[in-house]
């Protein structure tokens, strides 16, 4: 059974940092990209960024709102990904989801298995 | 960035009804459109990708259609478990934006 578990959220002051984890099991992690999506309170889903799988060089892409502040890494041997979030602002408050991401040749990624979400609160 | 719109924003229906949600992209995304179901407190769930391809295990009462800029998600024979917010998402370019969501109340 495919399992995706996101964790690491919490309360952090503006300007602070936090690291989220995405732990997986039940599939060959190295064959898939991992995407982070967030949901601010009362708002819809927002694509944050992702890391490609080994076939595509484990490279990353980010939304303009987090570029330069967030980074994503992965450990294929242990089946998890990490998102490092720096210089956090109140605008970064929300539930963060990681998702296993699929693609087909010539296409970008859609998300077929999601975690339950981890809450990040940026407040003084 | 490609902007996604959805309507209606909220929909009330009864068990057994057939409902349709519309998603519109600000420019062509081809067939690179996915639909997700999100029940608060749960993980979002992929329903459809490639505009019309049902993901594994998704009930056949869900169907998708459309291409380019206009897409629809249809739920036939609505069930109580279908109460959720439904989001479309394009994956034709970065950033991969979502629609604002349609809340389905039963």
Q: What is the pLDDT of residues B43-93, one digit of tens each?
A: 999 999 999 999 999 999 999 999 999 999 999 999 999 999 999 999 998
> Cβ-count burial of A85 within 10 angstroms (0-12 exposed, 13-18 middle, 19+ buried)?
buried
- When CB atoms are compared, the residue of B41, B49, B100 closest to A110 is B49
Separation in Å, CA of A77 to nearest CA in chain B: 25
Close Cβ partners of B41 (under 8 Å, ≥ 6 residues apart): A116
Condensed to tens digits (0 to 9), the pLDDT of residues B8-45 reads 999 999 999 999 999 999 999 999 999 999 998 899 99
Residue range A67-94: mean pLDDT, rounded: 97
Cβ pair B6, B88 in contact under 8 A? yes
Condensed to tens digits (0 to 9), the pLDDT of residues A62-78 reads 999 999 999 999 999 99
Separation in Å, CA of A57 to nearest CA in chain B: 17
Question: CB–CB of A45 and B36 under 8 A?
Answer: yes
Q: Please provide the distance, in angstroms rounded to a whole number, between the alpha carbons at the two ends of chain B.
A: 34
Mutate: best of A106, A110, A114, partner B, most B CBs <10 A: A110
- The answer to whether residue A1 scores a pLDDT higher than 90 is yes
B66–A contact, CB cutoff 8 A: no
B32–A contact, CB cutoff 8 A: yes
């Amino acid at each position: 059974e495919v399992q995706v578990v996101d964790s690491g959220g919490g309360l952090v002051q503006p300007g602070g940092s936090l690291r989220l984890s995405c732990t997986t099991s039940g599939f060959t992690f190295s064959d898939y990209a991992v995407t982070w999506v967030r949901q601010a309170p009362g708002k819809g889903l927002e694509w944050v960024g992702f890391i490609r799988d080994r076939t595509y060089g484990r490279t990353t892409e980010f939304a303009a709102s987090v570029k330069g502040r967030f980074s994503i890494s992965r450990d294929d041997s242990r089946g998890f990904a990490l998102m490092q979030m720096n210089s956090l602002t109140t605008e970064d408050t929300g539930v963060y989801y990681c998702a296993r991401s699929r693609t087909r040749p010539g296409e970008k990624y859609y998300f077929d298995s999601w975690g339950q979400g981890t809450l990040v609160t940026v407040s003084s | 960035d490609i902007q996604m719109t959805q309507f209606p924003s909220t929909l009330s229906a009864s068990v057994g009804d057939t409902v349709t949600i519309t998603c519109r992209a600000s420019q062509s995304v081809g067939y690179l459109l996915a639909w997700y179901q999100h029940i608060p407190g749960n993980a979002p769930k992929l329903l459809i990708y490639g505009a019309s391809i049902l993901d594994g295990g998704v009930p056949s009462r869900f169907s998708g259609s459309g291409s380019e800029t206009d897409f629809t998600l249809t739920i036939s024979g609505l069930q109580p478990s279908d109460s959720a917010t439904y989001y479309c998402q394009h994956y034709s370019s970065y950033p991969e934006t979502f629609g604002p969501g349609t809340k389905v109340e039963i």
